[in-house]
Chain A
């Protein structure tokens, strides 16, 4: 809170912290954060319910967001979402379709536990879910973090 000129500015960071601790924005977590911030729990709830990344209901331990927006849709994003849903059946993984994640260069893509992977094929979904559940590195070959610039090295 001290990083901000006004303590209310800490509401999104505080809700992130609640979510990190409890897996989602639980009423108890919101209550605690509200007490520390000296705002009402209802105020924090109203903020949490506005944002797509803050969950006001329980979700799985792991989270997969599959982009189904224009560029990903053109390259099979809907089918990829279906593949993830099928692969995650019965597992502790929350799968959801998502609006543009800002990675159309690796379409179709998914954000898996807040890291980007793509371009993905149907079979990658099953592999990713298996790795998530086993706790091993997810799709090391498809991580955005390891991708070179599209145009290669400086000429």
Chain B
């Protein structure tokens, strides 16, 4: 029997993502791709996978069929159980047939990536296997009963390993951004206010955009611009003054002024915030943004450290770790 991954359960918004569908933005095609590129790369590289399942706060459950699969997980601090055994939030392990893998939202984080070593037997659409729900490009969001066949399965590790990747750590530090491209649509005191406020992620946030709740930001000269291109992390201020941070499934172009753009090295931290969580911003210049980008991708390039799990990973030891994490994430 050929190897397959069976989906036993999937919350809303569990999708297949690869790096994204690039090169066709001139025809209105959104790249999609992972919300948290750093976590996606950690998982896919650890498992030698060409794509990953992006699991949302709704969680998911999987089983292997036909072979023992090589599975890596990385992302937010999700609760991960393999046949009831608690695994660290970033890990690499063999998934034997009939073993149950269950992911649930944990202490923090909004997305996590399940990478299956090898190649999924899924035809790329316009060069990519990424799901873009809004346009219907790519595979449908996963649902209970789905089966993902593998064209090729990578060899699994002998035993579960913990992945340590410093870029996955959550932090309370302000998200860094570059002002523009349309910061000249706002008075200096509005920009000042935007940078000094603590924002809250709104409930109606998804892969397309995160709503930022706080005071309305007023435009200096109208809220209509002639539509232009939109980068991931752009913060658009529509007519009602409530900022929208545009994420992986954003429209390729937009007609509202964009006051600022979150830098590449901090996009993952933005993406991993949950509705109800607070955040703040600080402005940096291009050179600082590029220096942060260099450090971020150099760490990812070096790869996560793999460490054997101590045989006695217990609820207690994980709770102890979570206590430390709980201090960092005190506002959850």
Q: Do A and B come from one complex?
A: no
**Measuring CB to CB, which residues of chain A are less than 8 angstroms from any residue of chain B?**
none
B interface with A by C-beta (< 8 Å): none
